[in-house]
Structure 1
């Protein structure tokens, strides 16, 4: 329904779908209204939006911070949101199952990977992981 309404909540929708299909969420309505779950959903959607802008090269210069020492570039809004997400995922006091919270972090990592690596590199890495024997 969120996709049909044009809601830009695709990352949170993906997390919720993974958690439901993984059997970690029994009663979706109850968890979707939980304050902590809502906060995590907002963070993952913000991170997804930042990464999408980066992938499409629409990040403004004001949003970037360049480290003079090593030349690395950081997106300030995304950095803050990622720090908050990691903190909430590793917090013990939220009342949300740790596996549900870990799904948020896994999706954030996958989105980050997709935004910073070309599709060909992702395909090569996936092929290696899936089809090459482990030594």
Structure 2
């Protein structure tokens, strides 16, 4: 709707759009106009878009051997900005009470975890994990 109105600057980016779509399809959002104007929802949307952007940049640079993510000395992640954003998202989802449904906030976290997983693991590993989860019987 915002694209049709010519409001490109305020249009949701991909990650927030995915979260919003999942929440609408899941029946968690009844009145989209109301929730999209909620300040907490806007904060979460901006945060998920920042995380998505940073992870996308990391993933595109990761192909070079010089761009390893893990520090050999202590195993900590060098890209502290991503970690700080993820921690902030977790804090907003779990610790801060807002007028937003808990399920809606959980969707932000689930999408962020999926983006994180996709950025840090090779496609073959992701495919292998998905195959195991979907097709290997649990004893």
Q: Report the CA distance shift for 1:133/1:3 in structure 2 as closer, same or farther (over 3 A).
A: farther
Question: What whole-Å deviation, never above 9, does each CA across 1:48-85 have from its counterpart, x for those lacking one?
Answer: 00100000007xxxxx9975742433312212211110
Q: Tell me if 1:123 matches 2:135.
A: no
The answer as to whether partners of 1:85 and 1:105 remain within 8 angstroms in 2 is yes
Q: How many residues align?
A: 130
Structure 1 unaligned spans of 5+ = 59-63
Q: Report the CA distance shift for 1:3/1:133 in structure 2 as closer, same or farther (over 3 A).
A: farther
Structural RMSD (CA): 2.5
The answer as to whether partners of 1:51 and 1:111 remain within 8 angstroms in 2 is yes
Please give the TM-score of this superposition, normalised by the length of structure 2. Answer: 0.83
Question: What whole-Å deviation, never above 9, does each CA across 1:72-113 have from its counterpart, x for those lacking one?
Answer: 333122122111100000035211010000000000000000
The within-5 A match list for 1:1-135 is: 5=8, 9-57=13-61, 69-135=73-139
Distance 1:47 1:27 in 2: 26
Distance 1:54 1:133 in 2: 34
Distance 1:38 1:31 in 2: 9
Distance 1:28 1:54 in 2: 32
- Secondary structure at the counterpart of residue 94 of structure 1: coil
Distance 2:120 2:51 in 1: 13
More strand by share: 1
Distance 2:114 2:100 in 1: 22
Q: Report the CA distance shift for 1:73/1:93 in structure 2 as closer, same or farther (over 3 A).
A: closer
